Amino acid sequence: MAARRSPTTTEPASFSGTSKRERILRAAVEVFARSGYFNAKVTDIAKGAGVADGTIYLYFDGKEDLLVTIFREYTRNYLHELEKRLAGVNRAEERIRITITHHLETLGSDRPLAVVSQVELRHSLKFMSLLSQQEVADYLNMLRKVVEHGQAEGVFRRNLHPQLVAKSVFGILDEMVTSWILSEKEYDLAAQAEPVADFVLNGLL
């Protein structure tokens, strides 16, 4: 008998070459973005990934784990990319600009991910605490170091509390993304990087 595909491997063409785990994760991002975490049905994620409901439980602990994992993996990836972009850049001002650009470019190019990141990851205090203790904290620390570095260099004002600046920059970026998601008109989020950097660096006055 000629070689034939095993029946179980028959999958929608679009899935070819991606691991089940990745497909589930991506389907989850899309379903969460579309329906919201609480209204998202595991069945729909399974359908989106082209697997059986039960299969999801072979890779993840459940619906909540899916959300946490999405956040962790995408954040980890985000930070790695950012580090790469920052490698070799020494000027503090330039590091700030790159960080801002990276944030807006990354989320600006993946709306479902942005929705999950801005909306779905924030439904419960417990969940937000969990995330902010690890991943968000890492991000804020990175920002804080850039500021401290700039202050040590003498480029940034010394009478600013670095942690407060870090939070402020994060807050601005966060709001830019949220605002973009909710906007009725489509526009290029990354285009905001320059004016945002200008404001952060120079202030109002």
Interface residue list for DNA (CB under 7 A): 6-8, 20, 39-43, 51-59, 62-64
d(CA 50, CA 33): 18
Break the chain down into helix, strand, coil percent, rounded to 5.
75, 0, 25
As measured in angstroms, the least distance from the Cβ of 203 to its own copies is 3
- State the binding partner of 81 from DNA, its own copies, none, CB within 5 to 8 A by kind: none
- State the binding partner of 124 from its own copies, DNA, none, CB within 5 to 8 A by kind: its own copies
CB 174 within 8 A of CB 158: no
The candidate with the shortest Cα–Cα distance to 156, out of 95, 100, 103, 204, is: 95
Separation of CA 39 from chain center: 21
| Closer by beta carbon to DNA, 84 or else 123 | 123
- State the binding partner of 7 from DNA, its own copies, none, CB within 5 to 8 A by kind: DNA
d(CA 36, CA 27): 13
Binding site for its own copies (CB under 8 A): 33, 36-39, 93, 96, 115, 119-120, 122-126, 128-129, 132, 147, 150, 155-157, 159-161, 164-165, 167-168, 170-176, 178-179, 181-182, 192, 195-196, 198-205
